Amino acid sequence: MAQAQSLENAHVQHHFRSSDQQFSSSKLGMWLFLFTEVMFFGGLFVAYIIYRAWNPELFTMAATELSTVLGGINTVVLIGSSLTCALAIRAAQTNNQKMIVNYLLVTIVLATVFLVIKYFEYTAKFEVGILPGGMYTFEGIDHPKASVFFSIYYMMTGLHGIHVIIGIGLMIWLVVKARAGAYSSAYYTPVEITGLYWHLVDIIWIFLFPLMYLID
């Protein structure tokens, strides 16, 4: 009995009294980190609001150069990835080792699809001169500050894309560990806190999509 309990608590670090305390502390740490991320993106959203208030007609014209279809597909893709990520957490809670890996792999595939679509969006704009700041050469928008919208667009979507790449890296690490049998109902903390991070990535895009693509 004592040996079994020892194996069950093998993941508990020495500075925690119990598995529950370690789990709670890990979640608290992740929530604090996510709060700093919200504050970080919040500053960019404030900048967006200010520049849009100053140049409403520019933002309306510039948004027509974005593909609502591709943006909508990416929205569906990310929402689907949040679902599969949540299912991976549930699989860990129910000791379903195979489905932990499968759901994480599906999440990784969906995240990769998101990045591929974003790559085609970016390259299509680069080819016609829709670039940030002083590199902007596109003549299809008749406004002296046309580059402002796209500078904000690249800043916000690019930063979000970096977060997607980080999320993919974290989930690849989870897959490697899950295949080694590291997670079960007794210990699934890394899966859950990575899931929290991924849900934030999804939520940020849900705000970015209407703000950038659905301006009317």
Res 207 pLDDT > 70: yes
Q: Say if 1 falls within a structural domain.
A: no
Q: Say if 37 falls within a structural domain.
A: yes
Q: Say if 5 falls within a structural domain.
A: no
Domain region containing 192 = 30-133+142-213
pLDDT in tens, 75-91: 999 999 999 999 999 99
Q: Say if 34 falls within a structural domain.
A: yes
pLDDT in tens, 150-165: 999 999 999 999 999 9
Q: Say if 204 falls within a structural domain.
A: yes
Beta-bridge partners for 184: 187
| Residue 11 banded pLDDT, cuts 50, 70, 90 | low
Q: Say if 94 falls within a structural domain.
A: yes
Position 3 scores a pLDDT of 35
Distances (CA, A) of 157 to 41, 121, 136, 191: 11, 11, 17, 25
Q: Say if 201 falls within a structural domain.
A: yes
Which residue would you say has higher pLDDT here, 187 or 113? 113
Pick left, alpha or beta for residue 95 (phi over 0 → left; psi -120 to 50 → alpha; otherwise beta): left
For residue 149, what is the domain's CATH number? 1.20.120.80
pLDDT in tens, 19-57: 566 666 667 888 898 898 989 899 999 999 999 999 889
For the chain, what percent of residues have pLDDT higher than 90?
62
| Residue 69 banded pLDDT, cuts 50, 70, 90 | very high
Count Cβ atoms within 10 A of the Cβ of residue 78 and give its class: 0-12 exposed, 13-18 middle, 19 or more buried. Answer: buried
Res 188 pLDDT > 90: no
Output helix, strand, coil percentages for the chain, rounded to the nearest 5. 80, 0, 20
Q: Say if 16 falls within a structural domain.
A: no
| Residue 179 banded pLDDT, cuts 50, 70, 90 | very high
Pick left, alpha or beta for residue 48 (phi over 0 → left; psi -120 to 50 → alpha; otherwise beta): alpha
How many domains would you assign to the chain?
A: 1
